Structure 1
Amino acid sequence: MKYLIVGLGNIGAEYAETRHNIGFKVLDAFAEASNAVFGAGRYGAVCETKYKGRTFVLLKPSTYMNLSGKAVSYWMQAGKIEPENLLVVVDDIALPFGTLRLRARGSDGGHNGLKNIALMLGSENYARLRFGVGGDFPRGHQVDYVLGEWTDQERSGMPPRIETACEIIRSFGLQGVERTMNAYNKK
């Protein structure tokens, strides 16, 4: 079985430590734990790792957030990956910092990366792992907030949440989205 795990973010050093790049951070941790190394691929940085007979293709799109669908569509076709084997890791301002929510499908919730993926795939029926980044910003300053860097408190609280996100990805591949939702969304 082959799975495409996409971490959303923006390329470039100026974005590396921003809230919007939590998808990249989670995939970096997943790859590191698997001794996998990202290489340059079409539309993004890509690596492949195996876990208990499952193949995980990890993708960090280089198309910038708002055009993530182009990379996702390409790698799904290139890898012959079914939509039910796609998982997108994304930041979510509607969830408190560190809250993790796995969904089998759903709306884009105003997230431009998810919106573009749905547009390119022609469907919102793909799994997404939402990583809460909180929403402590004044009205009208959402962009500044998500493109802002983590606070020291957030940075220190991040490692265990990222590790749990990696556990969720492994479980998604081994047990499927429904069983993984039941196991992790209650925590």
Structure 2
Amino acid sequence: MNKIKLIVGLANPGVKYAKTRHNIGSLYIRLLANYYNKKLKQESKFFGFTTFININNINIYLLIPTTFVNLSGKSVLAMMNYYNINADEILIVHDDLDLPTGIAKIKFGGSNAGHNGLKNIQSNLNNNSNYYRLRIGIGHPGDKNKVINYVLEKPTIFEQKLINDVIKKVISCTDILFFYDKYKELNYSHIFKATNYE
């Protein structure tokens, strides 16, 4: 696995969307920053909130775009260009309808599975999908016509506990997953499960 230099958590801006399923990416970034005792600061040139953490003397930039999810690419590209970061040095964190709540999986490249945030990022990267993704499961409402409302709703209390648990598990392994060569075999096939996942 290439060393990650930028981790982006996708989200819609504003209080209205702050705790919705679609904003799981930003929750991950906030918890990750807190884990490393860092505070996020709004930076207009990056169209988002940002800070950095340092692991093994490598700066890893954290970003929560303040654009809507389906316009995230502008923010990602601005930070990539500023710090000279390649696509395969990026980890995009996002909600995933195809994974059950309480499951997270790392993936490299592949289909955007209809996720509008990923579509926009790929468009801004000249259709380059060769970046890492942390897919955090939110489950599926069972009817494609309910998806839009579902992702913009808050998880149930139990679902939120599962989400928080699996995010904390991934965060606790950050340095191992991304920065130690002997763990390359984990790559994008590694799956995390919340403690109470059934």
TM-based fold match above 0.5: yes
SS state of the match for residue 5, structure 1? strand
Q: 2:77 matched to which residue of 1?
A: 73
Q: Quick check: 49-58 or 12-21, which moved more?
A: 49-58
Find out whether 1:130 has 2:132 as its counterpart: no
Deviation at 1:129, TM superposition (A): 0.7
* Change beyond 3 A, Cα 1:181–1:25: same
Find out whether 1:28 has 2:30 as its counterpart: yes
SS state of the match for residue 95, structure 1? coil
Deviation at 1:2, TM superposition (A): 6.3
Q: 2:116 matched to which residue of 1?
A: 112
Equivalent pairs, count: 187
Find out whether 1:16 has 2:12 as its counterpart: no
For residue 181 of structure 1, the aligned residue among 159, 165, 187 is 187
Among the aligned pairs, what percent are the same residue? 33
* Change beyond 3 A, Cα 1:168–1:82: farther
2: distance between equivalents of 1:8 and 1:116?
Answer: 11
Deviation at 1:90, TM superposition (A): 0.6
What are the ranges of 5 or more consecutive residues in structure 2 without an aligned counterpart?
194-198
Deviation at 1:184, TM superposition (A): 2.6
Q: 1:147 matched to which residue of 2?
A: 152
Contact 2:19 2:154 in 1 (8 A): yes
Kindly provide the CA deviation profile for residues 135-165 of structure 1, in whole angstroms up to 9, marking residues without a partner as x: 0243301110000001011122232211123
**Alignment RMSD (CA, Å):** 2.0
Contact 2:9 2:94 in 1 (8 A): yes
* Change beyond 3 A, Cα 1:182–1:146: closer
* Change beyond 3 A, Cα 1:66–1:51: same
2: distance between equivalents of 1:150 and 1:118?
Answer: 28
Kindly provide the CA deviation profile for residues 35-54 of structure 1, in whole angstroms up to 9, marking residues without a partner as x: 11000112100001112222
* Change beyond 3 A, Cα 1:141–1:76: same
Contact 2:4 2:91 in 1 (8 A): no
Contact 2:96 2:137 in 1 (8 A): yes
What are the ranges of 5 or more consecutive residues in structure 1 without an aligned counterpart?
none
2: distance between equivalents of 1:6 and 1:180?
Answer: 21
Deviation at 1:11, TM superposition (A): 1.0
Q: Which runs of 4+ in 1 moved over 6 A?
A: none
Amino acid across the alignment from 1:46: T
Q: TM-score, normalised by structure 2?
A: 0.87
Contact 1:44 1:71 in 2 (8 A): yes
